[in-house]
Structure 1
């Protein structure tokens, strides 16, 4: 499964200018949040998805800094995952969870980025109430942030 929300032309247009990319991220996140608050999760997903694509680009270039780009990336992933979950699409929710965690996990070997990357990953594994997000594993115990969870 490959989730791409931006077409190649828009992707290239945004890659060429970080200021433009950041503004697009801000606009799409705001629109996506507003639609989610209204309960229009299926309409919010394209906006949040485009914001997620842009956040990944800005994270790659660490713009404007690693701390800002990593935080925005995880925030965006969490919003998009929540929209999929509210829509009842667990498959896409978990696909994004694994993908976003993997992107951030690549930074765990860098001493300067390790703590923030770990915090961003941890934030992906909580729901909106800072409670652990349920993980699927056939009802077996799952290791999650140092705790074991029993799935029902």
Structure 2
């Protein structure tokens, strides 16, 4: 995706545990931004989180947790892009390419179906749903940390 600069990307590649921890913090910040209605900031945080999820997926390609995290982070970002009426097709194409390159289907099939559904108009149904998810994420300290 390239939200993270090359210097930080290299640092996180060398220390994947830091990437996992930062992913957690970015997802929490993104959820808080959604609750505040700050779409630009939410896209920034989700973009960085997606970069980190992709980086860990590259380091741990057979990890079902890394696969699911990548797909669910992409889905979260897609919902926010769609809710804020920003283009989502570039994200769908990038995720489709990444998942097909890795022949990943089983662990993320439900998430992938949800992501593909975003190609169809969803109008105003996305925002209330996502705000509800964001509220529960913030209240719970974001579900299930990377490990």
TM bucket by the smaller chain? 0.7 to 0.9
- Asked if 1:115 is matched to 2:106, the reply is yes
For residue 80 of structure 1, the aligned residue among 68, 72, 77 is 77
For residue 126 of structure 1, the aligned residue among 81, 106, 117 is 117
Unaligned runs of 5+ in 1: 128-132, 136-152
Describe the shift of the 1:106–1:120 C-alpha distance in structure 2 as closer, same or farther (beyond 3 A): farther
Structure 1 length-normalised TM: 0.71
SS at match of 1:125: helix
> Higher helix fraction: Structure 1 or Structure 2?
2
For residue 7 of structure 2, the aligned residue among 6, 9, 17 is 9
Question: In 2, Cα distance between the equivalents of 1:106 and 1:70?
Answer: 12
> CA-atom RMSD, angstroms?
1.9
Question: In 1, Cα distance between the equivalents of 2:109 and 2:82?
Answer: 23
- Does the 8 A contact of 2:71 with 2:108 survive in 1? no
After superposition, where does 1:38-57 map in structure 2 within 5 Å?
38-57=36-55
Structure 2 length-normalised TM: 0.73
* Larger of the two Rg values belongs to structure: 1
Task: Please name the residue that 2:139 is paired with.
Answer: none
Offset at 1:74?
A: 0.8
Question: In 2, Cα distance between the equivalents of 1:66 and 1:39?
Answer: 34
- Does the 8 A contact of 1:41 with 1:83 survive in 2? yes
Offset at 1:117?
A: 4.4
